């Protein structure tokens, strides 16, 4: 059995501030350390549960945060960017997905570092009428490759989002309780490591028993809408001719195939970001 881990940073143990996740800040070394800490716990749990191999995709920022030293055997690290499918690149061919260090969607109340793909650019994203965050769009891509989600790690707001989307079967490691966007009660690494490890171990059993949930992708047709913070960002996005503008700050693209929709989302958001001034 092969486990795929998409590793973000904002949801990792002890992280509460955006400076800890920005490579231009001295606090960033703490962010890297804690992301690595949590990913290693999840890898160890997956292998303890009987996984034969683990594929880790570094999914935060420039995607070169994780130090490959110490991962040991049976692990592959996908490091760097750009990657066509970004945070969910390389999931095909595995048996199930873990989301580690994830965070709630933009606009969630009392959620550590809530945002969706780009905090500076994206106000909200909806997929077939349902508002989704990074976890939702990435889980939808995974589902198109036939993959369930078995394990998620992050704060209490993310847990609520995950339970509403994917139900109660999923194994969730709650490593912090948010008091706001930039404050949370955090488990210590000494407590979060065994928690993540155990939930990840159990998640492999969920997969073996066929009980892990998949995102409902219906008939595979999609209506993807992205609302930006400003009309200037929307103006830039509209340089892509296939987009339909359905509001001052909102674009829509319809199509088939979630992998392609995910690529569109990355392209649209990157281009819209040039309007950040």
What mask, x for binding Zn ion by CB under 5 A, covers residues 147 to 186? ----------------------------------------
**Hunting for tokens 């750009």 — which residue is that?**
82
What mask, x for binding Zn ion by CB under 5 A, covers residues 38 to 77? ----------------------x-----------------
Size of the site for Zn ion (CB under 5 A): 4
Which residues, other chains included, contact 210 with Cβ-Cβ below 8 Å and sequence gap of 6+? none
Number of residue whose CB is nearest Zn ion: 60
Q: Are 274 and 232 in contact (CB under 8 A)?
A: no
Q: Tell me: does residue 8 bind Zn ion (CB under 5 A).
A: yes
Which residue's CB is nearer to Zn ion, number 196 or number 206?
196
Q: From residue 232, give the alpha-carbon distance in Å to each of 18, 42, 188, 235, 265.
A: 25, 41, 43, 5, 17
**Measured between alpha carbons, how far is 248 from 275 in angstroms, rounded to an integer?**
14
DSSP 6-21: EE-STTSTT--SGGGG
Q: Tell me: does residue 115 bind Zn ion (CB under 5 A).
A: no
Query: Under rule CB under 5 A, which residues in 206-225 are in contact with Zn ion?
Result: none
Stretch that binds Zn ion, among 7-15, 91-99, 116-124, 190-198 (CB under 5 A): 7-15
Least Å distance, CB 10 to Zn ion, is: 5
**Measured between alpha carbons, how far is 221 from 62 in angstroms, rounded to an integer?**
31
Residues that bind Zn ion (CB under 5 A): 8-10, 60
């Amino acid at each position: 059995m092969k486990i795929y881990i998409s590793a973000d940073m904002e949801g990792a143990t002890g992280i509460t501030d955006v400076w800890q996740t920005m490579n231009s800040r001295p606090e960033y070394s703490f962010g890297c350390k804690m992301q690595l800490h949590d990913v290693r716990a999840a890898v160890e749990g997956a292998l303890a549960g009987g996984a034969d191999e683990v594929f880790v995709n570094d999914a935060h920022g420039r995607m070169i945060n994780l130090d490959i030293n110490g991962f040991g055997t049976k692990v592959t690290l996908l490091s760097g960017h750009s990657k066509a499918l970004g945070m969910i690149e390389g999931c095909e061919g595995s048996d199930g997905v873990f989301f580690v260090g994830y965070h709630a969607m933009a606009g969630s109340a009392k959620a550590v570092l809530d945002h969706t793909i780009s905090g500076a650019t994206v106000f909200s994203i909806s997929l077939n009428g349902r508002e989704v965050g990074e976890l939702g769009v990435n889980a939808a891509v995974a589902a198109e490759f036939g993959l369930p989600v078995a394990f998620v790690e992050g704060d209490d707001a993310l847990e609520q989002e995950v339970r509403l989307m994917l139900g109660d079967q999923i194994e969730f490691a709650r490593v912090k309780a948010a008091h706001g966007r930039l404050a949370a009660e955090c488990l210590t690494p000494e407590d979060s490591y065994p928690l993540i490890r155990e939930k990840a171990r159990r998640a492999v059993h969920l997969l073996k028993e066929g009980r892990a949930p998949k995102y409902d992708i219906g008939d595979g047709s999609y209506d993807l809408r992205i609302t930006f913070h400003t009309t200037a960002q929307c103006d830039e996005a509209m340089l892509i001719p296939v987009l339909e503008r359905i509001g001052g700050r909102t674009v829509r693209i319809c199509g088939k195939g979630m992998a392609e929709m995910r690529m569109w989302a990355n392209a649209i958001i990157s281009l819209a970001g040039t309007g950040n001034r």
